[in-house]
Amino acid sequence: MDKQEKKRILITGAAGFLGSHLCDRFIAEDFHVIGMDNLITGDLRNIAHLFKLPNFEFYQHDVSKFVHVTGQLDYILHFASPASPIDYLQIPIQTLKVGSLGTHNLLGLAKSKSARILVASTSEVYGDPQVSPQPEEYWGNVNPVGPRGVYDEAKRFQEAMTMAYHNFHGLETRIVRIFNTYGPRMRLNDGRALPTFIAQALNGDALTVFGDGTQTRSFCYVSDQVEGIYRLLLSDYALPVNIGNPDELTILEMAQEIINATGKRSKIVYNALPVDDPKQRRPDISKAKSLLHWKPEVSRAEGLQKTIAYFKALPQEELKRKDF
Ligand code: NAD
Ligand code: UDP
């Protein structure tokens, strides 16, 4: 098939964890993929294998500034944003800008190209939730002026702006609320619990559990997340949809599972709980099940094995770094 006949999709945040897996998926579906990233938290190694393909292009660009793409676009996936708490605490203004100005630029681009756009929202729009599991109808409990507010409020603004383009301009929009997702290509030192614990365990260091470890999360393996996003993009549903794995556990249980899965004998140490750290998080995935016929397929045992294998295969000097 000629390059011009393929569906064309722009993926922002393409060099990041989720963005790079989405590039792989849409290449596999025979799309022409245009990746865009300013590399602020991403890594070109995540997409290096795509550079030789004729149906992949990459542009290094900050999407908080005007975004220009030549030619037709059928779809846009807006995944550019710092995503781990230590990233968005270190670059709070860029985080607010990419969720607000960046989203506005991409909605404008979608409108000018008559493209369908899917934006990456987050379970953080629920803040420290007072209902569990969290259904899409829950309005959340976010502290706008706390340290996490820069991320949570940018994503809440992103959702409001996306719905305004849908309702006012009739743009085809989709909103995915992503719950904690993990897998190969996570950054070893991004500060999120899972890569941190795996690196600590593989190095035989103590695992740093924050607080008493009774806070809960529900971890979704990346291939399940990508499948959910793919189905949502191709659906006709414009309101937000949760995609995540409802298999909830405490962070202390997660730390212990990782120690067991690596076969190491690391200890656990307890550090201070970050400000506004949500006490519980578990998606209600009824909508994804009924609308998209989607549910997670990969067990934590299997997902952890694949993720640990990825980290083990990294160059030793990266694994031995102590900035996690
Ligand atoms: P990531 O940090 O690995 O990837 C984000 C990518 O966006 C990076 O490559 C970064 O360089 C790029 N980026 C950031 N600001 C940019 C800008 N202004 N212009 C261009 N590129 C920019 O994070 P991730 O885990 O892959 O997250 C991707 C998206 O999914 C984010 O929008 C995040 O909010 C959302 N999300 C992820 C999770 C998760 O568990 N991974 C959960 C909820 C939401
Ligand atoms: N966490 C931890 N030790 C770490 C990193 C994180 O105990 O070294 C905790 C963190 O406080 C939170 C949970 O693990 O309660 C998940 O944190 P993560 O940053 O992965 O994601 P988020 O808080 O955004 O869900």
pLDDT in tens, 197-238: 999 999 999 999 999 999 999 999 999 999 999 999 999 999
Could you give the CA distance from residue 85 to residue 190 in angstroms, rounded to a whole number?
8
Assess if residue 2 is contained within a domain.
Answer: no
What mean pLDDT is predicted for residues 123-152? 97
Could you give the CA distance from residue 50 to residue 185 in angstroms, rounded to a whole number?
15
> Residue 250 C-alpha to ligand 2 middle, in angstroms?
11
Assess if residue 275 is contained within a domain.
Answer: yes
- Among 75, 88, 126, 151, the active-site one is 151
Could you give the CA distance from residue 21 to residue 15 in angstroms, rounded to a whole number?
9
pLDDT at site 4: 57
pLDDT at site 320: 81
pLDDT at site 318: 85
**How many structural domains does the chain have?**
1
Ligand closest to Cα of 244 equals 1
Tokens standing for residue 37: 């990233």
Strands 181-182 and 116-122 come out as unpaired
Could you give the CA distance from residue 321 to residue 302 in angstroms, rounded to a whole number?
26
Assess if residue 3 is contained within a domain.
Answer: no
Cα distance from N-terminal residue to C-terminal residue, the chain = 46
Given a contact cutoff of 8 angstroms between Cβ atoms, the answer to whether 196 and 324 are in contact is yes
57's enclosing H/E stretch is strand 56-60
Residue 83 pLDDT greater than 70, yes or no:
yes
Assess if residue 1 is contained within a domain.
Answer: no
Site residues for ligand 1, CB cut-off 6 Å:
12-13, 15-19, 37-42, 62-64, 79-83, 98, 102, 120, 122, 178, 180-181
What residue numbers bound the domain in which 232 lies? 8-320
Instruction: Write the CATH number for 72.
Output: 3.40.50.720
ipTM over 0.95: yes
Residue 1 pLDDT greater than 70, yes or no:
no
Q: List residues bridging with 118 in a β-sheet.
A: 77, 174
Our answer on whether the CB atom of 274 is closer than 6 Å to any ligand 2 atom is yes
pLDDT at site 323: 65
Measured by CA distance, the residue closest to atom 34 of ligand 1 is 83
